[in-house]
Structure 1
Amino acid sequence: MTPALTVLAADTELAEPVAGGVQLVLAALAGIAVIVVLITVAKLHPFLALIFGALTVGIVAGVNIGDVLESFADGFGTTAAGVGVLIALGAMFAKLLADSGGADEIVDTIVGHASPRALPWAMALVGAIIGLPMFFEIGLVLLMPVIYLVARRSQLSLVTVGIPALAGLSAMHGLVPPHPGPLTAIDLLGADLGITLALGVAVAIPTVIVAGPLFGKLAGRWVVLDVPHRFDPDDFSGNGGGGATAAAEGGEGTGVGTQTATRTQRQRPSFGVTLFSVLLPVALMMGKALVDIFIDDESNLLRQTFDIIGRPLMALLIAVVVGMFTLGRGAAMTRDQIAKCLETSLPPVAGIILIVAAGGGFKQVLVDTGIGTKLAEWATAANISVILLAWVLAVLIRLATGSATVATITASSLMLGLVEGMSTGQVSLIVLAVGAGSVFFSHVNDAGFWLVKEYFGMSIGQTIKTWSIMETVLSVTGLVLVLILGIFI
């Protein structure tokens, strides 16, 4: 998905084009081609490939190399400061969830109350609930250990289980307030929040069904993956050699099956405590969104409080601290074991942070060359329906920049003159059309693309066949439903 955390309203205007439209399109295509070739053919690390891709865009567009490097550094730093810190905190919380047995408790409850056929639907619901107030990156990090364990326990494909959860996260990101994306479009276009929320839910439910469980079943046949071991828990069964003994008895170095058995036998936090711990950051961020909506007075103590504790960084920091007690101590882990758990959570995500940050740098180079602006100008000149135009504008800017937030803000701004005189319901449909277009076909210039690729352990081709196509199905389904609603509203 988009690295929305990196640029949320940080730069609401795309840059003026630095060259002609054809040259800019060629520059973007050349940069993307360099990235794909370097990774798939030369087997270069994506971090380096993204740097060379950004340089290629700048060179072909005729931009000074120094300016290209400055743009890349700005995008890299902004992404690392926003997404990077959150990924690190999320990884700590995820490791606590796994090591304490809390993830097992959630999985046991889900598996115990759902048949294998119903599990993808349950994961879609979980993804939608978690994704409502949260940025995609945070929700993904929180859900990954659960996705891994559900796939392993149920013997379903990782893709079949994971795609529905991703669809739920992504649909909330683009379609339903109080997520920041739709809220921004609502504010820019002057739409009614209540009507947009109701219509957004009406569009999101069937959209998640189509792009989630239904498409996930198909994608699971296209791409077959082994479940990664990134969040496999350490053995805290009470003696120093427990992990080695379990592995030896299992006959494997990893001892996945035996580790799971060991975890389920020891003390672990209850389902209620685990659910509270997982939903705590969700509740804090949801609380901030609701307080911002319903309390206009910025001097109000409640609003000031939630403005602090409801920020993503603070909400996750609080979740980690609370999790040390509810999850760590709830599983009878010692202070040393909790410290070790937090320490070992960071190395596995270091590479992900660098790749995601480099994706943000590549995106910023595209933004600063003005290709998104040029594509928006071309689409505005087309003679198509207002709803379809809103979707096309968001799609083109999304494809060019990789950012759903930039696509949402820019497309909404371009639609301002076209919504005058429309009914309240019609303006809400324009908001939803922009939101649907903003999640279209995530690819290599989207930091979220690299996040999904690395967490699922997929190749670029596999990521396109699963994640990118899922985003496209979600976007097109959302557009179709909005157009259908437009007939009656």
Structure 2
Amino acid sequence: MGIVIPFLAGLALMLLLMIKTKLGPFMSMLLGAFIIGIGCGLPAGKAISSITTGFGNICRSIGIVIIFGAVLGDYLDKSNATQRIASTLLRIAGKKRADVALSATGFLVSIPVFCDVALIMLAPLVKAIAKKSGQALGALAVGLALSLLTTNTYVAPTPAPISIVSILGMDLGESIFWGLIVAAVNCMTILAYCRFYLEKKPQGWFQKSDTAIMTDMDEPESASNNERKGQPSFLASILPVIVPIGLILLATTCKMLRVQNEAFLSVVNMLGDKNIALFIGIVTAVALLYRYLPREEVFKSMNDALTSSGPVIFITAAGGSLANVINTTGVGKVLADSLTGMALPYLLIPFLICGFSKFVQGSSSVAVIMASTLTLPLVQSGMLSPVVAFIAICAGSGFGSHVNNSYFWVFANLFGYDTKTTLKSLCVGQHVMAFTGLLCAYVLSLFL
């Protein structure tokens, strides 16, 4: 346990710097990563190497996705496509049920699409719906972000559930069946959390970051985009969003069905790659929507998005640096080993191992693999049902979420909220999800 105390001290210092100083999340996380690395016994050179490696890994993983997502989002916004989609959804669902429409969208979209990619694509839509419905942007944004997490957490073919199924040796179809049920319960819980808690908060409760405030000040208070060239049709507006999602879904479905035609599969996998799919979404947007922008803004919109996506990438990558340093120290393994030796109820063991691992190193995928590996003996000995263990591990991946998770920074930077606001809205909601999942696992343990 010798490295746990330096880790907690370094983490507390980093959070203090983020919340109480003007240093900003980027420098705070890099400094915190270095302090934690040195405090946990890493040589200075290895700590710096871990920082740069983690930074590069995140940039390689989601850097292009964030840029393409920003370009697509900006194009949809300036062409009034998001306004058209928002108007149509609100007409169907009604203004009072805008949050329900977004939650259902998040629940369905995140089955085939990674939640961070989906959030990047749907963020402009949330902002447009907030303006038209009169509901608080913060509540709608958190509702969508957490709804995306529900199926991403519990339902294959996303990586975390697949990893658990593989390690525990359970049936994939059984995991999908129970995962969908628990994800739906979580989605309803999150809807209640946002509607009856976040929606009641005063406007000043959701604080913007300094960067977002400056961006808002720079935006001209000119006439609405609606006065430019009208609005595109709903089909033209929604296709740039549906096309990339459909391509990713097609590639995922072919993998699940184990399609044998290698030539067809190679083409589908290429088109279904998240970067290629989003690029095709951009091409679709330009082809269908260019006439709704002034000629000088057809490509200027893309350059503006490149500028705005930079801070999102850098801050998210800094979170990757922090996670990689913590993972290198091995503090997560120390905590997991300590938990397995305690006299806890069997149900809590996978939940807490996964939760503390997520708290320490930030990656849900790493956390569920560790928890599944250490829980396997309990399953093999009959102390836990595979289904109950599966749900408990999935639930634990939301416990302990904070600033070392890339999704935290994608959300914060897309909607412009500061660290404190994101902690008390998104992260609290993730813990609501975690304990809802744990409760579901307990109920299932009474019957399975």
- Whether the aligned pair in 1 keeps the contact of 2:239 and 2:284 (CA below 8 Å) is no
Alignment of 1:99-138 (within 5 A): 99-138=78-117
Q: Distance in 2 between matches of 1:458 and 1:217?
A: 20
Aligned equivalent of 1:148, options 83, 107, 127: 127
Q: Distance in 2 between matches of 1:275 and 1:426?
A: 43
Deviations 1:4-25 (A, max 9, x none): xxxxxxxxxxxxxxxxx2x322
Partner in structure 1 of residue 299 of structure 2: 339
Q: Report how far residue 421 of structure 1 moved.
A: 6.0
Moved more, 113-122 or 171-180: 113-122
- Whether the aligned pair in 2 keeps the contact of 1:286 and 1:310 (CA below 8 Å) is yes
Deviations 1:95-138 (A, max 9, x none): 12112221111110122223332111111111112222222221
Letter in 2 for 1:259: S
- Whether the aligned pair in 2 keeps the contact of 1:164 and 1:211 (CA below 8 Å) is yes
Give the % identical residues.
26
Letter in 2 for 1:179: T
Shift of the 410–140 alpha-carbon distance from structure 1 to 2, 3 Å rule, reads same
- Whether the aligned pair in 2 keeps the contact of 1:390 and 1:433 (CA below 8 Å) is yes
Deviations 1:184-241 (A, max 9, x none): 221222221111111111111121111234334302334624899x99xxxxxxxxxx
Deviations 1:230-254 (A, max 9, x none): 99xxxxxxxxxxxxxxxxxxxx973
Q: Distance in 1 between matches of 2:202 and 2:336?
A: 35
- Whether the aligned pair in 1 keeps the contact of 2:116 and 2:407 (CA below 8 Å) is yes
Aligned equivalent of 1:384, options 335, 338, 344: 344
Partner in structure 2 of residue 36 of structure 1: 15
Letter in 2 for 1:173: N
Q: Quick check: 1:316 aligned with 2:295?
A: no
Letter in 2 for 1:283: G
- Whether the aligned pair in 2 keeps the contact of 1:163 and 1:213 (CA below 8 Å) is no
Q: Which runs of 5+ in 2 are unaligned?
A: 213-217
Q: Report how far residue 470 of structure 1 moved.
A: 0.3
CA root-mean-square deviation: 2.4
Partner in structure 2 of residue 9 of structure 1: none
Moved more, 44-53 or 128-137: 128-137
Q: Quick check: 1:262 aligned with 2:221?
A: no
Alignment of 1:13-24 (within 5 A): 21=1, 23-24=2-3
Shift of the 101–89 alpha-carbon distance from structure 1 to 2, 3 Å rule, reads same
Q: Distance in 2 between matches of 1:296 and 1:487?
A: 39
Deviations 1:286-330 (A, max 9, x none): 222221111164x6333322222222222212222222213335x
Letter in 2 for 1:262: E
Letter in 1 for 2:397: S
Letter in 2 for 1:254: P
Alignment of 1:1-80 (within 5 A): 21=1, 23-80=2-59
Shift of the 422–319 alpha-carbon distance from structure 1 to 2, 3 Å rule, reads farther
Aligned equivalent of 1:192, options 156, 160, 171: 171
Aligned equivalent of 1:164, options 143, 146, 151: 143
Q: Report how far residue 274 of structure 1 moved.
A: 2.5
Partner in structure 2 of residue 290 of structure 1: 253
Q: Which structure dedicates a bigger proportion of its chain to helix? A: 2
Shift of the 176–281 alpha-carbon distance from structure 1 to 2, 3 Å rule, reads same
Alignment of 1:409-420 (within 5 A): 409-420=369-380
Partner in structure 2 of residue 89 of structure 1: 68
- Whether the aligned pair in 1 keeps the contact of 2:51 and 2:321 (CA below 8 Å) is yes
Letter in 1 for 2:197: L
Deviations 1:58-78 (A, max 9, x none): 121121111000001110000
Shift of the 307–341 alpha-carbon distance from structure 1 to 2, 3 Å rule, reads same
Shift of the 89–223 alpha-carbon distance from structure 1 to 2, 3 Å rule, reads farther
- Whether the aligned pair in 1 keeps the contact of 2:401 and 2:427 (CA below 8 Å) is yes
- Whether the aligned pair in 2 keeps the contact of 1:121 and 1:213 (CA below 8 Å) is no
Q: Report how far residue 34 of structure 1 moved.
A: 2.2
Letter in 2 for 1:295: R
Shift of the 413–223 alpha-carbon distance from structure 1 to 2, 3 Å rule, reads farther
Letter in 2 for 1:382: M
Q: Report how far residue 395 of structure 1 moved.
A: 0.4
Shift of the 381–306 alpha-carbon distance from structure 1 to 2, 3 Å rule, reads farther
Shift of the 105–371 alpha-carbon distance from structure 1 to 2, 3 Å rule, reads same
Aligned equivalent of 1:435, options 373, 394, 408: 394
Moved more, 432-441 or 466-475: 432-441
Alignment of 1:436-451 (within 5 A): 436-451=395-410
- Whether the aligned pair in 2 keeps the contact of 1:163 and 1:212 (CA below 8 Å) is no
Alignment of 1:345-356 (within 5 A): 345-356=305-316
Partner in structure 2 of residue 243 of structure 1: none
- Whether the aligned pair in 2 keeps the contact of 1:203 and 1:481 (CA below 8 Å) is yes
Partner in structure 1 of residue 269 of structure 2: 307
Partner in structure 2 of residue 484 of structure 1: 443
Shift of the 327–487 alpha-carbon distance from structure 1 to 2, 3 Å rule, reads farther
Partner in structure 1 of residue 329 of structure 2: 369
- Whether the aligned pair in 2 keeps the contact of 1:429 and 1:482 (CA below 8 Å) is yes
Q: Distance in 2 between matches of 1:75 and 1:223?
A: 38
Partner in structure 2 of residue 4 of structure 1: none
- Whether the aligned pair in 1 keeps the contact of 2:54 and 2:321 (CA below 8 Å) is yes
Letter in 1 for 2:187: V
Deviations 1:359-378 (A, max 9, x none): 10011000000011111111
Please give the secondary structure, in 2, of the residue aligned with 1:125. Answer: helix
Q: Quick check: 1:474 aligned with 2:433?
A: yes
Shift of the 306–29 alpha-carbon distance from structure 1 to 2, 3 Å rule, reads same
Deviations 1:440-463 (A, max 9, x none): 242121122222222222222211
Letter in 1 for 2:428: I
Q: Distance in 2 between matches of 1:278 and 1:441?
A: 32
- Whether the aligned pair in 2 keeps the contact of 1:273 and 1:326 (CA below 8 Å) is yes
Alignment of 1:163-312 (within 5 A): 163-222=142-201, 224=203, 225=206, 254-255=220-221, 258-262=223-227, 266-295=229-258, 297=260, 300-312=262-274
